Each structure stands twice: as structure tokens, then as C-alpha cells.
């Protein structure tokens, strides 16, 4: 079993490495390699940061909720990001420093998204249904924020709305490269908190009562995990833009490729699968299909189909 696991991990790593090479190397010559690598390497770093953050956040969120078919995007963090971008254009205009400068935009957007996540987490009670109540509040808040953003978009000048579109849809080409370094610092801190708790995550899968009986401070761990997941999703959204269902697809692939319950192996496989999914999706849709199908809608459609399949599978398992 260990040998089979190593073979699968190496195969996935080779696929990811081949995608990285196909992203970096085409068209390079001794004369132009500095120019192209100078543009492609920062984008690759943003992709690695966004995909890894999304995968880790999804694992934490699913473990906290003890449900493998939900995603942290259900909390409405991405809807808040879209609303913030719309409000910046609506009140400050397209020529404001916050809109033009990605670092200023990051400095405004990220604290607001983290504060939103912290407010939701503070609603977490001590009863057994607290997590599900949090999910319900997150769904309602996310729907409200998304609807409010769509409503305000109707009143924005068409010329300024065209400037807004690049931030409303996640894309590898539109990655905010200048925000990668500050995002990397926050993501590294959140990932460190999660990795230190990977053994506790294994115990949390056993349920609330069992975790408490084994000495786990259940509610405190949930708060820490949800705060870390919210921070990672905020970083991913600020760097790559909204990419709903990316984490769900990547983590689901990671679960299919790993055996057992240990989060350490699940995290590695899910991060690799999410990075590979994002890079191969970009290579196929952008280079082979000439970007006729944008990446974000393709991920939303694929993730929506996967979500429906997982819902019916869990329903059939419950009935069976």
C-alpha cells in the first residue's frame, strides 16, 4: 500500500511538473528567455500560492464541518471581494489609487475579508449544531453580498465597468503579481498553523464527542481552523480572483488518490492536484483553445457538476 501511494504521488508530481514546464518554457530562446521568464515566473508563483491556499482552506473547512462536499466559498468571502471591488469603482471611480494600484487594493480588501470571516467565526456557539448554523449564516450572507454587488453594478458607468471585469473573474493571466509577496506571508502563517495541527485534524474527523473525550479543545480548534481557512481563501481570492469550486475539485481528486484518513498525505495530494488542475486548465483553455472558454466559468461548471454528483452519492450512501 505504501509503495502504491508513493507511485501515485510521484505520478501526480510529474504531471504538475510537466504543466509547470509547459507553462514556462514555450517560445524561449537565448535572446528572449529573460523577458519571458521575468513575466511567467511571477505568474507561476501567484498560481502556486492561490492553488495551495485554496486546497488547504478547503481541507480545513471540510474537516471542521465533518462534510466532504462543502467548500469555504460557501461562507461568502468571494462575494464580499466582488462587492468591495464594485464599491471602490462606484464611490471612488476607476482612476482611484485603490483601483489602479493592486497593492493598495490588496491592503484594503484583505483586512475586510479577514474581518468578515472573524465576525462569522465569533458567531460559533458551543452547541453541537454550531457549525451548521455558521454555514447557514454564511450562505445567507454570501447570497446577500452577491446580490448587492450585482445591483450596484447596474449603476456603474460602462467604461468603468470594463475596468472592473478583470477583478470579478479569476484567471491566471489576470493574477495580481504585486500582491504575491504580502499574500505569501499571510498564507505561510496560516499554513504553519494548519500543519502544526494536522494530527488534531485527524482526531476531529472522529466527531465532537470523541474529540473532546480525547482531550481536544473542540471549539477552540474549530475557531483556529476556520480563521486560518478564511485567511487562505482571502489570499487566494485577492491574488487570483474568485474561483469557486476550485478547492472542491482539487481536494476531491486528492481524496480519490489517497487512502486512509491522515491529513498529512491528503494535504500534499490535494495541493498537487489543485495546482495541476489550475495549470493544465489554463494550458488547455488558453493555449490550445485560444481562450474561447474562460477558466473561471469552466471551473464553475465542472465544480457544479461534481457538487451535484457528490450530493447524490452521499444521499445514496445514507439510504443504503
In three state form, how does the secondary structure of the chain look? CHHHHHHHHHHHHHHHHHHHHHHHCCCCCCCCHHHHHHHHHHHHHHHHHHHHHHHHHHHHHHHHHCCCCCCHHHHCHHHHHHHHHHHHHHHHCCCCHHHHCHHHHHHHHHHHHHHHHHHHHHCCCCCCCHHHHHHHHHHHHHHHHHHHHHHHHCCCCHHHHHHHHHHHCCCCCCCCHHHHHHHHHHHHHHHHHHHHCHHHHHHHCCCHHHHHHCCCCHHHHHHHHHHHHHHHHHHHHHHHCCCCCHHHHHHHHHHHHCCCCCHHHHHHHHHHHHHHHHHHHHHHHHHHCCCCCCHHHHHHHHHHHHHHHHHHHHHHHHHC
| pLDDT at residue 100 in the model | 83
Q: Is the pLDDT of residue 130 over 70?
A: no
Average pLDDT over residues 293-311: 84
Average pLDDT over residues 53-80: 85
pLDDT in tens, 91-112: 888 788 888 888 888 888 888 8
pLDDT band at 229 (very low <50, low <70, confident <90, very high): confident
**In percent, how much of the chain has pLDDT > 70?**
95
Residue, of 24 and 287, whose pLDDT is higher:
24
pLDDT in tens, 24-61: 998 888 888 898 999 899 999 999 999 999 999 999 88
Domains of the chain: 2-319 (1.10.3470.10)
pLDDT in tens, 145-179: 989 988 988 888 777 777 777 777 777 877 888 88
Amino acid at each position: 500500500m505504501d509503495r502504491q501511494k508513493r507511485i501515485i504521488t510521484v505520478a501526480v508530481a510529474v504531471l504538475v511538473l510537466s504543466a509547470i514546464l509547459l507553462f514556462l518554457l514555450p517560445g524561449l530562446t537565448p535572446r528572449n528567455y529573460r523577458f519571458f521568464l521575468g513575466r511567467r515566473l511571477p505568474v507561476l508563483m501567484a498560481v502556486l500560492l492561490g492553488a495551495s491556499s485554496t486546497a488547504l482552506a478547503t481541507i480545513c473547512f471540510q474537516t471542521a464541518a465533518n462534510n466532504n462536499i462543502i467548500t469555504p466559498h460557501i461562507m461568502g468571502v468571494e462575494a464580499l471581494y466582488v462587492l468591495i471591488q464594485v464599491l471602490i469603482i462606484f464611490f471612488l471611480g476607476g482612476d482611484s489609487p485603490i483601483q489602479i494600484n493592486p497593492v493598495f487594493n490588496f491592503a484594503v480588501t484583505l483586512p475586510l475579508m479577514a474581518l468578515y470571516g472573524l465576525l462569522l467565526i465569533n458567531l460559533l456557539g458551543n452547541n453541537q449544531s454550531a457549525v451548521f448554523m455558521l454555514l447557514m449564516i454564511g450562505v445567507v450572507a454570501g447570497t446577500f453580498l452577491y446580490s448587492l454587488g450585482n445591483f450596484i453594478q447596474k449603476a456603474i458607468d460602462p467604461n468603468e465597468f470594463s475596468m472592473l471585469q478583470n477583478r470579478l473573474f479569476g484567471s491566471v493571466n489576470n493574477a495580481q503579481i504585486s500582491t504575491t509577496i504580502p499574500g505569501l506571508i499571510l498564507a505561510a502563517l496560516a499554513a504553519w498553523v494548519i500543519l502544526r495541527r494536522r494530527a488534531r485534524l485527524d482526531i476531529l474527523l472522529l466527531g465532537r464527542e470523541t474529540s473532546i473525550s480525547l482531550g481536544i479543545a473542540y471549539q477552540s480548534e474549530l475557531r483556529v481552523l476556520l480563521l486560518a481557512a478564511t485567511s487562505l481563501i482571502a489570499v487566494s481570492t485577492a491574488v487570483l480572483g474568485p474561483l469557486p469550486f476550485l478547492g472542491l475539485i482539487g481536494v476531491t481528486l486528492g481524496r480519490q488518490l489517497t487512502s486512509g484518513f491522515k491529513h498529512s498525505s491528503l494535504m500534499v495530494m490535494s495541493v498537487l492536484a489543485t495546482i495541476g488542475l489550475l495549470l493544465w486548465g489554463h494550458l488547455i483553455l488558453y493555449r490550445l483553445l485560444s481562450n474561447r472558454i474562460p477558466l473561471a466559468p469552466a471551473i464553475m461548471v465542472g465544480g457544479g457538476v461534481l457538487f451535484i454528483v457528490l450530493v447524490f452519492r452521499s444521499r445514496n450512501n445514507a439510504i443504503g
